[in-house]
């Protein structure tokens, strides 16, 4: 029996899996939810109020591309009325100045804009969408002109990590207050494309140095967060800050998940917002309770001094790489599964291969 958890802080609402881009590192599942199965406006409205009542402070509206939903402006207004801080995670495509006016009027607090690359040709190749880069720039300009807080999310992988300086400079030129330079984590489409996306150790070392230098250069002007690829680390990340401790993800069809990849774990039963109150799902849902506390842990995690720091790492990564969601994350140097990662690093980093876009096309 585990202690009653604290309320969640954040809700990630995946409003839709529809998206004009088709990046090969997308964290959406390989089986995307069809438009007909998406939750209607009135259910999301009720969910946002339930989330606020439960204690959630921040709402992240995500996708796919959330602007693919025509009711996005309504959802932002309702969420703000419920007292939530609303962050929009977007590619910027599909948000005209008039839609941005409406979002601003609805009370949108913050925009997080993805950046595929800093040059049009490369960005459009990575996103699989010709003309996407130009539209993204126009959107960033409109966001900046309105004074809305902007974070750039620059996704790093083998094809972009050497341009890290340019990405940071570019974010500053767009008026961003923060840039998250995040190396691709291998879930969903990114896992399927790992051989083509995994950066080399040298690339990662150079990127770390570039970030240190940029932090000095931009101190006081722009915050620079760096998420390294965990395959090169000795210890795993505390995924989701610990399973069922801080955040809730809701998929477009209303399935409530402890993390975005949780549905890959066999044997877990997931509740839906159409069937149970969010509070009952958070406190009593079997999926949320599956990996809370320490009782589920095996050795070496169970008796490890770091177990409250990283919570044994990522359950979905343990499942994907060690075929056991209760195992230590194979990133950990003490994990029985660590040789799997060492083997991947030896085998896949010099490996150039085609990338599969999430629309099924191959490049």
142 contact, one of ligand SF4, ligand FES, none, CB 5-8 Å limit per kind: none
239: Cβ contacts below 8 Å, ≥ 6 apart: 259, 311, 313, 314, 315, 316, 317, 329
300 lines the binding site for ligand SF4 (CB under 6 A):
yes
The C-alpha angle 149, 61, 128, rounded to 5 degrees, equals 90
Q: Closest Cα partner for 202 from 233, 237, 166, 162?
A: 162
* CB 322, min distance to ligand SF4, A: 11
Q: Is 183 annotated as a binding residue?
A: no
Q: Is 26 annotated as a binding residue?
A: yes
* CB 185, min distance to ligand FES, A: 8
Q: Scan residues 33-52 and list those touching ligand SF4 (CB under 6 A).
A: none
* CB 327, min distance to ligand SF4, A: 9
259 contact, one of ligand SF4, ligand FES, none, CB 5-8 Å limit per kind: ligand FES
285 lines the binding site for ligand SF4 (CB under 6 A):
no
Choose between 25 and 291: whose C-beta lies nearer to ligand SF4. Answer: 291
**Number of chain positions touching ligand SF4 (CB under 6 A):** 15
Neighbours of 106 (CB within 10 A): 18
DSSP-assigned states of every residue in 13-37: EE--S--S---TT--S-SSPPPGGG
Distances in whole angstroms, Cα of residue 143 to Cα of each of 59, 81, 113, 231 = 19, 22, 10, 35
Torsion of CA 257, 155, 21, 94, to 10 degrees: 90
DSSP-assigned states of every residue in 138-166: HHHHHHHHHT--EEEEEEESTTTGGGHHH
329 lines the binding site for ligand SF4 (CB under 6 A):
yes
Choose between 66 and 337: whose C-beta lies nearer to ligand SF4. Answer: 337
Q: For residues 16 and 94, is the Cβ–Cβ distance under 8 A?
A: no
334 lines the binding site for ligand SF4 (CB under 6 A):
yes
Question: What is the rounded radius of gyration, in angstroms, for the C-alpha atoms of the chain?
Answer: 20
Choose between 157 and 315: whose C-beta lies nearer to ligand FES. Answer: 315
Q: Is 304 annotated as a binding residue?
A: no
* CB 233, min distance to ligand SF4, A: 10
* CB 194, min distance to ligand SF4, A: 21
Choose between 60 and 110: whose C-beta lies nearer to ligand FES. Answer: 60
Could you tell me how far CA 14 lies from the centroid of its own chain?
10
* CB 307, min distance to ligand SF4, A: 4
Choose between 254 and 313: whose C-beta lies nearer to ligand SF4. Answer: 313
Q: Closest Cα partner for 159 from 353, 358, 359, 362?
A: 353
336 lines the binding site for ligand SF4 (CB under 6 A):
no
Q: Closest Cα partner for 247 from 235, 255, 259?
A: 259
Q: How far apart are CA 138 and CA 152, in angstroms?
A: 14
Which listed residue (128, 132, 229, 313) binds ligand SF4 by CB under 6 A? Answer: 313
Q: Closest Cα partner for 22 from 154, 248, 188, 238?
A: 188
Distances in whole angstroms, Cα of residue 179 to Cα of each of 66, 322, 348 = 20, 33, 28
332 lines the binding site for ligand SF4 (CB under 6 A):
yes
Distances in whole angstroms, Cα of residue 265 to Cα of each of 211, 259, 291 = 35, 11, 12
35 contact, one of ligand FES, ligand SF4, none, CB 5-8 Å limit per kind: none
* CB 332, min distance to ligand SF4, A: 3
239 contact, one of ligand SF4, ligand FES, none, CB 5-8 Å limit per kind: ligand FES
Choose between 271 and 329: whose C-beta lies nearer to ligand SF4. Answer: 329
Interacting residues with ligand SF4 (CB under 6 A): 235-236, 300-301, 304, 306-307, 310, 312-313, 328-329, 332, 334-335
- Which residues define the annotated binding site for [4Fe-4S] cluster? 19, 23, 26
């Amino acid at each position: 029996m585990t202690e009653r958890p604290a309320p969640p802080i954040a809700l990630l609402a995946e409003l839709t899996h529809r998206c004009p881009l088709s990046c090969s590192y997308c964290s959406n599942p390989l089986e995307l939810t069809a438009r007909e199965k998406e939750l209607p406006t009135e259910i999301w409205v009720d969910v946002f109020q339930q989330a606020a009542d439960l204690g959630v402070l921040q709402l992240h509206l995500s996708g796919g591309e959330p602007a693919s939903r025509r009711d996005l402006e309504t959802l932002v207004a309702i969420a703000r009325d419920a007292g939530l801080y609303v962050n929009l995670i977007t590619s910027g495509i599909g948000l005209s100045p008039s839609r941005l006016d409406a979002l601003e009027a609805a009370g949108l607090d913050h925009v997080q804009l993805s950046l595929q690359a800093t040059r049009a040709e490369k960005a459009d190749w990575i996103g699989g969408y010709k003309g996407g880069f130009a539209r993204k720039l126009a959107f960033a300009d409109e966001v900046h002109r309105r004074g809305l807080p902007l974070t750039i999310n620059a996704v790093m992988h083998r094809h972009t990590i050497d341009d890290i300086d340019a990405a940071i400079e570019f974010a500053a030129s767009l008026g961003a207050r923060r840039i998250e330079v995040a190396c691709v984590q291998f879930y969903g489409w990114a896992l399927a494309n790992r051989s083509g996306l995994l950066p080399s150790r040298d690339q990662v070392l150079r990127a770390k140095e570039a970030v240190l230098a940029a932090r000095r250069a931009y101190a006081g002007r722009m915050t620079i967060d760096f998420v390294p690829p965990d395959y090169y680390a000795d210890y795993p990340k505390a995924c989701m800050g610990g399973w069922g401790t801080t955040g809730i993800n809701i998929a477009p069809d209303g399935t409530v998940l402890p993390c975005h990849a949780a549905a890959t774990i066999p044997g877990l039963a997931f509740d839906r917002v159409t069937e149970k109150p969010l509070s009952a799902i958070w406190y009593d849902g079997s999926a949320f309770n599956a990996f809370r506390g320490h009782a589920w842990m095996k050795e070496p995690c169970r008796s490890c001094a770091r177990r409250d720091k990283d919570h044994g790492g990522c359950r979905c990564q343990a499942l994907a790489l060690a075929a056991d969601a209760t195992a230590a994350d194979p990133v950990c140097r003490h994990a029985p599964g660590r040789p799997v990662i060492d083997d991947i690093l030896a085998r896949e980093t010099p490996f150039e291969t085609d990338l599969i876009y999430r629309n099924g096309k191959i490049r």
